[in-house]
Amino acid sequence: MTSPTLFRLRIAYAKQGRGRFLAHLEVQRALSRMVRRSGLPYAVSQGFNPQMRLSTGPALSVAVSGEREYCDLVLTSYVKPVDALCQLQEVEAGFLPVLDVGYVGTKEPSLNASIVAQELCVIIENAPALVTEQALKAGLTALQARDTLEVEHKGKTKVYDSATHVPKGITVVTKGSTVQMTLMLRISNQGSLRPDALLSHLLQAAGLPSLEDGKIGEGLVRTDRTALFCEALDEEGNEGTLRLPL
């Protein structure tokens, strides 16, 4: 008996508005509901409790928005990308708009296995006067000089290798009392530093006011994930530059 032909549709979507406050499992459930309403011929897993074969990329922390997130949906029959996009957009939730779709090979690594970096934008509104480009970059230099970073989360301590997980550089733009910091974080087998954990270490290293309840002093902090990246292969199959998953 031959195995059925399956197709792997990659969906790019945004997590915005009130969707920022959804946990990762809630996002997965919302995506599954959208696919069911769309009428796309989705595949299900085998066993006593079949589940839609839908997989998502690296999780976003609660209250962090995502400009271009991804999920993979396995289909039992081919649907033209333009038609699949229309079907999904007709039933999408406003806080999880579908941006684009495209097919990828069924034997390609999963999203979580292939995504190696993320670009983040940290916005500090009404930032304290001490939070300057010079101070933030001095804090980053101090972090880069460390061998490891220890992060406590839910009663557990995780140790990250600084050479891998501390950004190589940051871009800081100041407009009035708003400070915007853009940076790239690597994602390894250890996972990735949470944005709030990195910012807390950065502020401490720079001797700046600490991050508490999403604020630095009176400054409100908001984080957006602006892009995810896979490793691109050169002609000889070696890892090289970064590329978008879709």
Q: What's the whole-model pTM score? A: 0.90
Q: What per-residue confidence (pLDDT) applies to 238?
A: 56
Distance CA 177, CA 220 (A): 11
Q: Residue 24 phi/psi, 5° resolution? A: -60, -40
Q: What per-residue confidence (pLDDT) applies to 236?
A: 56
Distance CA 102, CA 100 (A): 7
Mean pLDDT (the chain, rounded): 91
- The predicted model gives 45-55 an average pLDDT of 91
Confidence of residue 231 (pLDDT cuts 50, 70, 90): confident
Tell me 77's DSSP state.
S
Domains by residue range for the chain, with CATH: 7-108 (3.30.70.580), 114-243 (3.30.70)
**DSSP class per residue in 81-149:** HHHHHHHHHHH--TTS-EEEEEEE-TTSPPHHHHEEEEEEEEEEET--TT--HHHHHHHHHHHHTSSEE
What is the share, in percent, of the chain residues with pLDDT greater than 90?
Answer: 72
- The predicted model gives 86-93 an average pLDDT of 96
Tell me 244's DSSP state.
-
Residues 6+ apart with CB under 8 A from 187: 58, 115, 116, 117, 118
